[in-house]
Amino acid sequence: MTTYHLKVTIGETEPPVWRKIAVPNHITFHQLHLVIQECFQWQDYHLYKFELPDVESPITRLFGDPFIDEGNDIDAREMLIDPYIAKGGRFRYIYDFGDWWEHVIDVLDIDPLDDARAPRVTASQGESMIEDAGGVGGYYRIMDILHDARNPRHEEIERWVEWQAPKPFSADTANAHMDELLYFPKAAYSSSAAPDAGICPARRVKLRDVVDALEYQSDALAAYIDLDAVEVRMLFFEDFVGQEEYERSLREFESCNSLMLPRPEELDDYGVMRSFALMQEGVAGDRLKRAVEGRGAFKRFKSEVAKLGIEEDWLAFRDESRAETARDFLEANGVRWA
């Protein structure tokens, strides 16, 4: 696996606040954004963009909102970093267009033989800044007040910092967190194919198949994505289908680069029911809110939905919630969908 070694420095900090990170070559710019967020303990509350010397338009996450999207930006979830990284290169990452936290990203090295787990922090300097502090200048003004007990705003700022500031930065903690949440398996794509409008083509798993698999799983059936074939498959358990079918499905599972889908117990079905209940108005809302409280909530909720005659509305809402869960899961794991 090719690994890029990058140094990310928050601009105008003195002494400089930076992190050296290693990331795999096959991730998107949105996934690089997630890594930077983790390494500087940002909260991912705000918009962001990457600015590259050879790319005219900013690379950001598009939201389909004309008041947010400029119309000529490039979707960071569709843009692989690989074609744009060269040793000695430099580009910028801006987080929070109000505070304008500017990060300068230098490409230190490209290692085609690095098999270590990535992403990871390899070195660091300086503590993380504080979200919503007013940018670098605002942060330093806040620190000045914090260290001046005679300042009339000292106690106010002290309380704010105690509530808002992240814990002292630890590379080990950041790596452990990324190891759990931001390990990106290599999605199948053809790096030799000619990029179309700067976007490297990739094979995509069908989102509908992932949503259906999330719904179909049970104690006797698990779902996973074959990342080599880029398709959803099922893993049958022996007591469900018998020895022969179990061994066949197990061989398929073990022979591929796989990504297990979230198990039924990991899905917040109760939260989806409660959200639907809170959306309803009047008598329907009151009845559904009562139904989701206490033991037996699932059965009561289903019964009330049937009595109210809103099964189609509920199923559509549940399906969209499943689709959102599937999209978030695939995005976090570097798997594209269609």
Where are the domains positioned within the chain? 3-128+166-181, 207-264, 268-332
> Which of 179, 178, 204, 266 minimizes the C-alpha distance to 77?
204
pLDDT band, very low/low/confident/very high, at 245 (cuts 50, 70, 90) = confident
Does residue 126 carry a pLDDT above 90?
yes
Please give the Cα distance from 118 to 194 (Å, whole number). 26
Please give the Cα distance from 302 to 309 (Å, whole number). 11
Q: Is the Cβ–Cβ distance between 338 and 205 less than 8 Å? A: yes
pLDDT 10s digits, 14-30: 999 999 999 998 888 98
Structure-token pair, residue 298? 């699932």
Regarding predicted confidence, which is higher, 126 or 226?
A: 126
Average pLDDT, the chain: 86
Predicted local distance difference test score (pLDDT) of residue 178: 85
Q: How would CATH label the architecture of 3-128+166-181?
A: Roll (3.10)
Q: Is the Cβ–Cβ distance between 144 and 52 less than 8 Å? A: no
pLDDT 10s digits, 92-112: 999 999 999 999 999 999 998
Please give the Cα distance from 230 to 28 (Å, whole number). 17
Most confident range, picked from 126-130, 158-162, 223-227, 238-242: 126-130
Regarding predicted confidence, which is higher, 54 or 66?
A: 54
Predicted local distance difference test score (pLDDT) of residue 186: 58
Please give the Cα distance from 129 to 303 (Å, whole number). 51
Predicted local distance difference test score (pLDDT) of residue 45: 84
Please give the Cα distance from 215 to 220 (Å, whole number). 13
